[in-house]
Amino acid sequence: MAFIHRRGLLLAAGGLTLASLTGHARAQAPAAPAAPPTGPFTLPALGYAFDKNEAAIDARTMELHWRFHHAAYVNGLNTVLASQAALASMPLDELVMNISRAPENVRTQLRNFGGGHANHSMFWEIMGGSGGEASGPVRAAIDRDLGGWGEFRNRFNAAAMSVFGSGWAFVTVTPTGALAIVTKPNQDTPLMDGQRVLMGNDVWEHAYYLRYQNRRVEYVGNWWNVLNWDRINARHAAAVAGTLKV
């Protein structure tokens, strides 16, 4: 208290004002970090409300996951590309498929941010539905390549449970429509192996921790309740047509 009183006296004596003092302090503060570039990539719209996937994922998790986690991958990717003009003009799928040809000092960031952007863009697209059994050409491909509906679910769930730490389980699709189940760590994607992704589940803890904590098996089981098989069939048709991107 004594010090404050003394400083007040000194300020008054010196003709200083509090405004000039705070202005000085502001000028000495470190500059705020520059806002990330807004392009070339942008956070895609979800296409449905945050509570649309309540049968598997709570609205708060959906919002945090999309607004902060996915946005961070997009921002990180744009920041890396700000100094990589040749890469910045590439579509996302080509960028991710050609990481080995990028300058070595940006490969890890491209892998994490580019893979993260591709994976989450696919993830939102294939959800927002009412689940149930697959239908249409995707169902025929599941029956042909993955042992039928029940066997497919068991194998996919086992794959999702086998991911140690953070990662994904995917179904890949060839240009002839053939399906396979693969897992990837971190934000890697089968695109990095030259494969196309039909669908996939994010088993990072941020995808399910608020509702399920350590019970990944419950999340993996409930996830089927919110899949949109019309959209997954559209992705399958695009793969066969050669137009499927991320």
Binding segment toward Mn ion, per CB under 5 A, in 83-91, 175-183, 204-212, 237-245: 204-212
- Would you tell me the crossing angle of helices 136-145 and 149-162 to the nearest 10 degrees? 80
Six token digits for residue 7: 């400083």
CA distances from 77 to 1, 56, 83, 108, 126 (A): 51, 29, 11, 11, 23
How far is it, in rounded angstroms, from Cα 122 to Cα 172?
12
Per the CB < 8 A criterion, the answer to whether 197 and 171 are in contact is yes
User: In angstroms, what is the minimal distance from the CB of 25 to Mn ion?
Assistant: 40
Least distance to Mn ion, CB of residue 119, Å: 7
Which candidate, 110, 83, 86, places its Cα nearest to that of 96? Answer: 110
Q: Find the shortest distance in angstroms from Cβ 83 to Mn ion.
A: 26
CB 225 within 8 A of CB 79: no
CB of 140 to Mn ion, least distance (A): 30
Please tell me the count of residues contacting Mn ion according to CB under 5 A.
2
Closest to Mn ion by CB, 145 or 205: 205
Between 68 and 149, name the residue whose CB sits nearer to Mn ion.
68
The enclosing H or E element of 172 equals strand 167-173
State in angstroms the smallest separation of the CB of 130 from Mn ion. 22
Name the token pair of 86: 């040749």
CB closer to Mn ion, 209 vs 224: 209
Measured from the CB atom, the residue of 204 and 212 that comes closer to Mn ion is 204
125 near Mn ion, judged by CB under 5 A: no
198 near 171, Cβ under 8 Å?
Answer: yes
For Mn ion, the closer of residues 43 and 178 by Cβ is 43
Residue nearest to Mn ion (CB): 202
Q: How far is the CB of 167 from Mn ion (least distance, A)?
A: 10
Determine the Cα–Cα distance for residues 25 and 31; give it in Å rounded to an integer: 12
Nearer residue to Mn ion within complex by CB, 134 or 159: 159
Site for Mn ion in 164-203 (CB under 5 A): 202
Q: How far is the CB of 193 from Mn ion (least distance, A)?
A: 20
Q: Would you give the binding string for Mn ion spanning residues 221-240, x where CB under 5 A is met? A: --------------------
Q: Which residues contact 172 (CB under 8 A, 6 or more apart)?
A: 179, 180, 181, 182, 190, 195, 196, 197, 198
Residues that bind Mn ion (CB under 5 A): 202, 204
